[in-house]
Amino acid sequence: MHETRYDWLADRWVIFAPNREERPNEFKSVGCVASPSEIHNPSCPFCKGFEHSTPSPTLVLPHIDLESSRPLHREGYAEDRETVSSWLVRVVPNKFPAMSGNGGCETYDTPMDPLSIRSSHYSRVKFESKAEVQTASTVAVAGGASHLFRSEHPSGCHEVVIESPNHVASLASMPTENIELVLEAYRKRLLHWRSHSNIQFAVVFKNFGADAGASLSHTHSQIICLDFVPSDVQRTHQRLVKHHEEYGACYICQVMHEEVRHRERIVMETEHFVVICPFASRFPFAFSIIPRRHRPHFEDTSVAELLDFATVLKSSLSALERAQPEAAYNYVLQSSPFHQFDDEAHHWRLRVIPRLSKVAGFEWGSDCFINTTKPEVAARILREHLGP
């Protein structure tokens, strides 16, 4: 039976139509995800032994935090022999950055003057009050004549987190302690970028499989830092603030507590985390990993929580890969903008979005999505595929 459900946070309706799973598809493809087959691949720039194929790292774990020992991109820098031979996680600037010139990685060794405004560019800085955030908007207009065609030159950074020295495709196939190092790399880099007043927001994400946008099979994720807060992120933040003002409670906390009470859409629970298939999820088998403790920023996660998070992430991704062996997926770490002032309202979480269906004309024309698998069904199947 068809059903529509309302996603209050996104202010969006979702249509559930399980019968559409049976429609014919002559374009169906298989085998979109690579399987780990070798320790090293001579054509892969992320494998151990090919460190020279990437830009100089900004962070190496478990041994060295390079931020404290040298300026980024110092001329003539080379990783020492011990670092090269023993790394488990490397963070490097992206050779093909989404941010023009990857300027942030090169210019943020000293904090930017928060009052400087350059031609054709504006910076949102770390303000001292909500009023300043709401009133500060210096916008350059393309051509200086029309509000119709705005153009700016953003600053920021685009980094790649190489999650293993070995040529493996899936994060879920790695030991839990190695996944914890990956999460620690996220934490360290977010703390680093949050210290810069002109960096407003950072997105940590993984593209797994060609259908999810991955161009290399070697397990990796990415961090893009921006000097502005994207419109959709800002709208979500404002909805969270609105809920807190009206009900005196965090929206995510309330949803989590209700889901735990009803248990229909719970995939797994641990001391620190709950995994939920959202009530109005847009995509089949989508789930969110939510910390029980209210925190707006992922980078403030404790050591104990980080280890538990690594266990939960490995288990839930493994369940997805067992339940849907051919599925590509994205995951996105949704944390609060760096310099907002509504910590009671925002609650970080990690969203996993399997790419089991295509976004087609109806979705583009209506912004209303059709999901062929109800979250209650998805949660039950994922629970059945949770392994040891």
Q: Is the dihedral of CA 260, 264, 266, 269 positive or negative?
A: positive
150: three-class secondary structure by DSSP: strand
Distance CA(168)–CA(39), nearest Å, equals 7
pTM of the model: 0.81
235: three-class secondary structure by DSSP: helix
For the 51-226 domain, the top CATH level (class) is alpha beta
Residue ranges covered by each domain of the chain: 3-20+230-384, 51-226
Alpha carbon 108 to chain centroid, angstroms = 22
Distance CA(93)–CA(98), nearest Å, equals 11
Domains 3-20+230-384 and 51-226 share a fold: yes
Which pLDDT score is estimated for 38? Answer: 57
Is residue 166 within 8 A of residue 47, CB to CB? The reply is: yes
Distance CA(12)–CA(282), nearest Å, equals 9
The DSSP result for 13-58, as a single string, is EEEE-GGGGGS--TT-----SPPP--S--TT-TTSTT-GGGSPPPS
Give every residue of the chain whose pLDDT is below 70, as ranges.
Answer: 1, 20-39, 63-85, 100-146, 388
The tokens describing 325, both together, are: 């062996």
Which pLDDT score is estimated for 145? Answer: 60
Distance CA(66)–CA(104), nearest Å, equals 16
For 90-105, write each residue's pLDDT tens digit: 999 998 888 754 444 5
Q: Which CATH architecture has domain 3-20+230-384?
A: 2-Layer Sandwich (3.30)
Which pLDDT score is estimated for 118? Answer: 29
Which pLDDT score is estimated for 388? Answer: 65
Which pLDDT score is estimated for 249? Answer: 95
Q: Which of 272, 277, 273 is nearest to 288 (CA)?
A: 277
Distance CA(186)–CA(300), nearest Å, equals 11
Which pLDDT score is estimated for 10? Answer: 83
For 237-263, write each residue's pLDDT tens digit: 999 999 999 999 999 999 999 999 999
Which pLDDT score is estimated for 347? Answer: 95
Which pLDDT score is estimated for 66? Answer: 47
For 19-63, write each residue's pLDDT tens digit: 765 544 444 444 444 444 456 777 899 999 889 999 999 999 985
Which of the 8 DSSP states describes residue 120? T
* Long-range pairs of 79-87 with CB within 8 A, sequence gap ≥ 24: 79/51, 84/51, 87/48, 87/60, 87/61, 87/63, 87/165
Which pLDDT score is estimated for 26? Answer: 42
